[in-house]
Amino acid sequence: MCGIAGILYGDRSTSVDQELLARMTNVLGHRGPDSGGFHRGPGLGLGHRRLAIIDPAAGQQPMADPDSQNVIVYNGEVYNYVELRAELESLGYRFVTDSDTEVILKAYDRWGQDCLGRFNGMWAFALWDARRQHLFLARDRLGIKPLHYFTDGSRFLFGSELKSLFAAGLPREPDPELLDVYLALGYIPAPHSFFRGMAKLKPGHFIVTDGARTAVTRYWDLPREDEAAMRTDREQVHAEFAYLLDDAVRISMRSDVPFGAFLSGGLDSASIVTLMAGQTPLPVQTFTIGFDEAGYDERVLARLVSAQVGTTHHEQVVEPGDLQGTLDQVCRHYDEPFGDSSAVPTGHVARLAAGHVKMVLTGDGGDEVLSGYPGYQAEKIAGAYAKVPGLARRALQSTLAGAAALARGRLRYGLNRYERLLRTATQPFAERLLGKAAWLDRAGRAAVLAGIRVTPVDEVITDLMKDCPWTDPFYRLMYFNFKVSLPDQMLTKVDRMTMAFSLEARVPFLDHRLVELMARVHKDVKLPGLTRKSVLRETVGRRLPPPLLRASKRGFVVPLRAWFRAGDFTAPLIGATSAGGGGTLSDWGISPVAVRDIVNRHRGGEQDYGNLLWMLLVLQRTLQN
């Protein structure tokens, strides 16, 4: 895994400043501590920081192809490089390294832009096409690896992270219009970024630019299977899924350095570890993060998996005192506001693993591939609930709301959740989607952002969903998860926190063959009744410890509800919104009264605003930088 950066001027007589290129590249040193390099040509500069995983001795970058004179800087891994190399050798190509980087160069020489369809893996790369005198930049199908860029018609700059663009001297000018998007979702979805003029390349897209003219093209999408033709052959789906997941794990384990796996108490990571153990005679090294709060701790379940398959297991406990340091780390590595508090345990487990290995496999992507989030159950419930007479619906919702008002603590939070589920069940899908995703409802966001002109998050989501081919809410939710929340929340979280500790993370569930298979499967096969992840349970799940199969879904979350009520973490937030000055929230027009009300309602146990308070702390720190 690596960091890439570069610049291309439309006027080739403009020389790329070596110091500027070095700044853009070296600021990514955490992504590639093993080595670095530069390539400069007329109007062109490419920089690379390397984390050596495949062919550590010979895979240095930038890498040039002596035949075509093409040059590449590349972040990622093409797992099927062994098979592609053999195919290219049969076509007459000769190789001087054992790296997947050289395979990309030769594949582009042979197949041009169509080479992307032959790769299985994760990547973000920039390839200088010497004959055509343009840059070809691409991002993998699902958005596992990031790519940011800026263009003004005379130059094109890019980097693995926004900090490369900042290092080039581009201004850090926040765009307050996106604050409604951030407070609703907790992240800024591609192609947007929180800073004016800077963009993210969307997953499954590539760029061709000569520095002056830039074109963005989509090369991959989810299969557009007709809803009526979704697969219902359950046994055959199970067989294909089991084979492909096992093969995805097999090729994801290709490495020339020590590797291991993240292991929680969930089905997804446990399945990956179990399959890994079947692929190697050596014990798999596994890494788990726990909490002293029992409701959030999954160490017991992780230990069951470790004991059953014989891993070498490592654990660490995250405590409230770790929160401040993690806040600093999150703001440093995400560059723009990123409010998913599960970045906290992700950073801790990455640091733990990095002390032992250079690469890990994770269970990320399982919920997307298997339609395993509770939201899919909610969509099924919504379909049934819509058929209940209106009078009965209103009576049930009123009863739940009244009970929630009398309850306290965990019971109150649970009743509020169920009342919200039923209240939104008869709304249009777009409203339900936003209701599921939003950390703060429309009225709450309006109060917090009363002094700011914003782009409503509804408009952004409508634009992101405009190409969705399905009308059934279940499949529309699947589209949103794959196209928006997976790359911009889940995968962004994992990339930044693992790269912060120079650790490569691979995600076998997001093998595009698995994604394409399961996107064609009927919802009643993926979710028979309300049984989550049935396909996984009926295949690899049969080999997992029974207590793990019976456990309820928890997610990789932090006990912020308790931490923010017991500790003094929110004091700086209230003080900053009250006092003003120095780039605080109130200086940007955010209402200090509304923020104080959120803090007080959380402390009083009226509402669980733990993650929202984390989001506000992250936003405050980002605006102060």
Residue 116 burial class via C-beta count within 10 angstroms: exposed 0-12, middle 13-18, buried 19 and up: buried
Least confident interval from 40-54, 215-229, 401-415, 571-585:
571-585
Higher pLDDT, 318 or 211: 211
On the question of pLDDT at 581 being above 60, the answer is: no
pLDDT of residue 568: 64
State both tokens at 478. 């699947």
pLDDT tier for residue 583 given thresholds of 50, 70 and 90: low
What is the rounded CA–CA span in Å between residue 201 and residue 216? 8
Q: What is the DSSP code (8-state) at residue 69?
A: -
On the question of pLDDT at 573 being above 90, the answer is: no
Helices (H), 428-559: 429-437, 442-448, 457-464, 473-480, 491-499, 512-518, 523-526, 534-537, 546-550
Give the 3-state secondary structure of residue 53.
coil
Query: What's the half-sphere exposure (Cβ side, CA atoms, 13 Å) at 320?
Result: 14
Give the 3-state secondary structure of residue 8.
strand
Domain residue spans of the chain? 2-218, 227-371+485-550, 559-625
Give the pLDDT confidence of 135-188 residue by residue, as tens digits: 999 999 999 999 999 999 999 999 999 999 999 999 999 999 999 999 999 999
Annotated active-site residue 115? The verdict is no
pLDDT of residue 579: 42
On the question of pLDDT at 40 being above 50, the answer is: yes
Give the pLDDT confidence of 286-307 residue by residue, as tens digits: 999 988 777 778 899 999 999 9
On the question of pLDDT at 580 being above 60, the answer is: no
Tell me the whole-structure pTM to 2 decimals: 0.92
Helices (H), 12-99: 18-26, 81-90
The CATH class of the 2-218 domain is alpha beta
On the question of pLDDT at 201 being above 80, the answer is: yes
Which CATH superfamily, name and number, covers 227-371+485-550? Answer: HUPs (3.40.50.620)
Instruction: Give 24's contacts (C-beta < 8 A, 6+ positions apart).
Output: 5, 6, 7, 47, 157, 159, 164, 165, 167, 168
First CA to last CA across the chain, in angstroms?
27
Question: Could you tell me which of 340, 153, 146, 362 has the C-alpha nearest to residue 269?
Answer: 362
Tell me the C-alpha to C-alpha distance, in Å, between residue 401 and each of 272, 421, 434, 543, 612: 41, 12, 21, 42, 22
Q: Give the whole-number percent of the chain exceeding pLDDT 70.
A: 91
Mean pLDDT of 305-330: 86
Strand partners, 390: none
Mean pLDDT of 516-531: 96
Neighbours of 411 (CB within 10 A): 12
What is the rounded CA–CA span in Å between residue 211 and residue 354? 38
Instruction: Give 86's contacts (C-beta < 8 A, 6+ positions apart).
Output: none
Annotated active-site residue in 2, 115, 331, 468: 2
Place of tokens 């809410």: 473
Least confident interval from 252-266, 512-526, 561-575:
561-575
pLDDT of residue 515: 98
pLDDT tier for residue 531 given thresholds of 50, 70 and 90: very high
pLDDT of residue 564: 73
| Cβ burial 460-495 (10 Å sphere, 16+ → b, else e) | bbeebbeebebeebbbbbbbbbbbbbbbbbbbbbbb
